[in-house]
Amino acid sequence: MPLPHSFPFDPTGGYSPEQLRQLRPVIDEPADFADFWRASFDEAMRAPLDWSIKPSAHPGNDDHEVFDIEYAGMLGNRIGGWLTTPRRRPVRRGFLISHGYGGRDNPDLSPPADDAATIQPVATGLPTRSLRAGIPSQGGEHVLHGIDRRETYVHRHCVMDHWRAASVLLEAVPESRPRLDYIGGSFGGGIGAMTLPWDKRFRAAYLCVPSFGNHPLRLQLPCSGSGESVRLLAQRRPEIREVLAYFDAAIAARHTTIPVIVAAAAFDPAVPPAGQYSVYHSLGGPQELFPLTAGHYEGYPGQSREELELQAALRRFFAGEQASPSNIR
């Protein structure tokens, strides 16, 4: 039964759940796609981290202690965020937990493993911990910043922020080195897909309603999220499609070989479902799908049940894949 809505477009993008499961994205990949991202990774790893950590004003909870953390961004800026550690258990693993396009003003205190330290950076230019003069903080404007060139596009710097956050966590909490996993939703799901292939420290990942997948198709589908700004700009300036090809989460997913679980929605006004499923279908390694009725849409029938089932699936998923310490550097 269709979900009620007042959007001036179809949040399914015209795809049924069956069509989404059968979708096989065909997207042209730039010849130097992998070279560009490997060079970006090497650049991010060479730059000094200059990180600091201190007790946070955030009280944490009974299970997790919270610290404020900062480190150097790649634009002469500071990246802020939080680091959490379990209060009652020794640390045996780590998570990098990303965020949506609204940024983050508090840490997530519910990682899907009880023995994990987490680092939760806020990406360059976004609220509340990584605002920067000259970079718009609203998603619909942030998504266009620097889009004229692949080297200057803000999403490149956001991916680099994530690689560097992983380094900070492994330095600050060496006990997390045996296993490092990734969690990201929406913005953080798409940026995560671009982060994972080139950083061999990650062992497994969860991408929830991932954005930025299959730009050629996304540019045909209206939405209420940041993609609408990109779609409208591409109508006026079609040349930006050449830059977007380097920041396509579905193309990046082809290069990802670690186990990934994707929660993808059949109805989503903010992130077109076909883009989400394009990321899932493009993954180059072990993949698992958790189909959601809807994303970026609250109060639909069965939502609470789906969320409980998803949390159980994540605990099972992250308990299963064993790490290889030799791949942590």
Asked if the model's pLDDT at residue 329 lies above 50, the reply is no
Asked if the model's pLDDT at residue 325 lies above 70, the reply is no
Q: pLDDT tens, 110-164?
A: 999 999 999 999 999 999 999 999 999 999 999 999 999 999 999 999 999 999 9
Bond prior to 128 in cis (omega within 30° of 0): yes
- In whole angstroms, give the CA distance from residue 289 to residue 271: 17
Q: pLDDT tens, 245-256?
A: 999 999 999 999
Is 326 within a domain?
A: no
- Quote the number of domains for the chain: 1
- In whole angstroms, give the CA distance from residue 50 to residue 73: 9
Is 52 within a domain?
A: yes
Share of the chain above pLDDT 70, in %: 97
- Structural domain harbouring 79: 17-317
Q: Are 66 and 84 in contact (CB under 8 A)?
A: yes
Is 291 within a domain?
A: yes
Helix (H, G, I), strand (E, B) or coil at 187: helix
Asked if the model's pLDDT at residue 263 lies above 50, the reply is yes
- pLDDT (mean) for 60-67: 98
CATH number of the domain bearing residue 242: 3.40.50.1820
Is 9 within a domain?
A: no
β-strands 202-208, 260-265 pairing: parallel
Is 11 within a domain?
A: no
Is 101 within a domain?
A: yes
Q: pLDDT tens, 264-305?
A: 999 999 999 999 999 999 999 999 999 999 999 999 999 999
Q: Provide the Cα torsion 52, 54, 59, 64; round to 10°.
A: 70
- In whole angstroms, give the CA distance from residue 134 to residue 142: 10
pLDDT for res 1: 66
Is 10 within a domain?
A: no
Is 290 within a domain?
A: yes
pTM equals: 0.96
